[in-house]
Amino acid sequence: MIDQSSPVRLIAPKRFGDARGWFTEVYSEPTFAKLGIDCTFVQDNHSLSVPAYTLRGLHFQTPPHGQDKLVRCVRGRIFDVAVDIRKDSPTFGKWVGAELSADNGHQLFIPIGFAHGFVTLETDCEVTYKCSDVYAPAHDGGIRWDSVGIDWPMPAGTSPELSDKDRIQPGLAEFDSPFAYDGRPLVPLA
């Protein structure tokens, strides 16, 4: 059962398998509406990260172009994270994370007001995600990956592969959030 009071949701779509393989429905507007997720997705993104321990994030878009995201890993394994960055939230700066993989088929729904990032746990990982708004470069934002206290699952002494942009993001302490708290604190993923 999915905790419908939680703003961030771990979703495990059912797979129907036989000798040929399996089939799953990864998104259905009526099914998601029953879960309390009623955004409209307008853009799909797909990334390939070749080296293991490539870290992408922590990213978001500011209002009025905030993005709800539905993330899944279609090849390999990632550790996917959402960080509460809503001003006045009792869980501001807290994070939740889950392993998403091609094998488990799990997805993470990350609403507006949360920073998103992931680290690849093996080589050649592909990640797809739906977004509720298009990319708006003037509203692109981020916080530094190591400023929140996330327990990234990397071997001791490993430095992640980062983009130049992610190396210079501000820390959470320097971030002045434009996101409003909606009354739903972040809760652990079920």
Give every CB contact of residue 21 below 8 A, 6+ residues apart in sequence.
none
Which entry of 46, 53, 59, 135 is annotated as an active-site residue? Answer: 59
Backbone angles phi, psi at 45, to 5 degrees: -120, 155
10 in Cβ contact with 98 (< 8 Å): yes
Please report, as a single letter, which amino acid is at residue 104.
N
| Preceding omega of 64 cis (within 30 degrees of 0) | yes
C-alpha 110/C-alpha 46 separation (Å) is 16
Question: Is 129 one of the catalytic residues?
Answer: yes
C-alpha 4/C-alpha 175 separation (Å) is 29
Which entry of 129, 135, 139, 181 is annotated as an active-site residue? Answer: 129
Question: Is 59 one of the catalytic residues?
Answer: yes
Active site residues: 59, 129
